[in-house]
């Protein structure tokens, strides 16, 4: 992307628990600032999908070191809103609940984190990116000029995820009920926060925003205003 004269290009790191509004906020902030949006959760989801497709998940639970074969020839590419895993468009598949259920396990494995962190650092090398995930401000880009930590009430997050699943699932497909979804979200947050490598936690310099009662517009405004304070010119 061509850099506009005088426009400061920084890294905006947006971390937080599941369904706290990170990806919607990050995507819109990137649009407003003319930055590139990078969804690191989609990368962990892609590796999880690959493990499911290869039928190696159970084996990995018993011998996690065999994960290296999963990472061989791994290619993850973004094209606008689409995500490509080893050349195939997996944008819809990586959002399925079967992937959500297993992604915390796959993302707890150190070789997976090491590989994806390298890819993410390369993607952000030229700066001018909004990157969302769990460890962007703490591990991937600890020097990010603007760090945001989004949180929201667990019930509210389950409702958002439920609405998303309803909107995306084909008619007639079974949906988990709201209570179950809330339980799964809480379990994933716990697993993400308690894992050994790059756990989910707020960087001391991060601005915490509770999105439980905020509209998307308001969230986006808040992050963009903070970016302006850091010297980023608006469009």
Size of interface with ligand CDP, in residues (CB under 6 A) = 16
Binds ligand CDP by CB under 6 A, chosen from 76, 133, 181, 206: 133
Q: By CB under 6 A, tell whether 115 contacts ligand CDP.
A: no
What's the rounded Cα separation, in Å, for the pair 3 and 178?
45
What's the rounded Cα separation, in Å, for the pair 10 and 145?
6
Q: Which residues have CB under 8 Å from 213's CB, separation 6+?
A: none
Residue 226: other Cβ atoms inside 10 A: 18
Binds ligand CDP by CB under 6 A, chosen from 25, 104, 211, 219: 104
Which parts of 142-181 interact with ligand CDP (CB under 6 A)?
Answer: none
Q: Which is nearer to ligand CDP, 24 or 56 (CB)?
A: 24
Rounded to a whole number of angstroms, the minimum distance from the CB of residue 82 to ligand CDP is 15
Q: Which is nearer to ligand CDP, 8 or 77 (CB)?
A: 77
Which parts of 41-60 interact with ligand CDP (CB under 6 A)?
Answer: 41, 44-45
Long-range pairs for 1-5 at CB < 8 Å and ≥24 separation?
Answer: 1/34, 1/36, 1/128, 3/128, 4/34, 4/233
Q: By CB under 6 A, tell whether 192 contacts ligand CDP.
A: yes
**In contact, 201 and 193? CB cutoff 8 Å:** yes
Q: By CB under 6 A, tell whether 138 contacts ligand CDP.
A: no
Q: Give the C-alpha distances (Å, rounded to integers) separating 208 from 13, 152, 201, 205.
A: 12, 10, 11, 9
Residues of the shown chain interacting with ligand CDP in the complex, contacts defined by CB under 6 A: 18-19, 23, 40-41, 44-45, 103-104, 107, 133-136, 188, 192
């Amino acid at each position: 992307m061509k850099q506009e004269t005088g426009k400061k290009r920084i890294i905006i790191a947006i971390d937080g628990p599941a369904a706290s509004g990170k990806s919607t906020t990050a995507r819109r902030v990137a649009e407003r600032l003319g930055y590139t949006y990078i969804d690191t959760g989609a990368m962990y989801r892609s590796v999880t999908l690959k493990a499911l497709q290869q039928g190696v998940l159970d084996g990995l639970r018993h011998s996690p070191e065999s994960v290296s074969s999963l990472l061989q020839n791994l290619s993850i590419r973004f094209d606008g809103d689409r995500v490509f895993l080893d050349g195939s468009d997996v944008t819809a598949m990586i959002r399925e609940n079967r992937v959500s259920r297993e992604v915390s396990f796959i993302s707890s494995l150190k070789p997976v984190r090491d590989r994806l962190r390298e890819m993410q650092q390369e993607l952000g090398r030229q700066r001018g990116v909004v990157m969302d995930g769990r460890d962007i401000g703490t591990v991937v880009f600890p020097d990010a000029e603007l760090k945001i930590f989004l949180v929201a009430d667990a019930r509210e997050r389950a409702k958002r995820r439920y609405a998303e699943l309803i909107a995306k699932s084909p008619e007639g497909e079974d949906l988990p009920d709201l209570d179950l979804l809330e339980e799964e979200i809480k379990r994933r947050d716990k697993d993400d926060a308690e894992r050994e490598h790059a756990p989910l936690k707020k960087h001391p310099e991060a601005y915490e925003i509770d999105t439980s009662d905020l509209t998307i517009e308001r969230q986006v405004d808040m992050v963009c205003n903070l970016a302006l304070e850091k010297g980023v010119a608006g469009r």
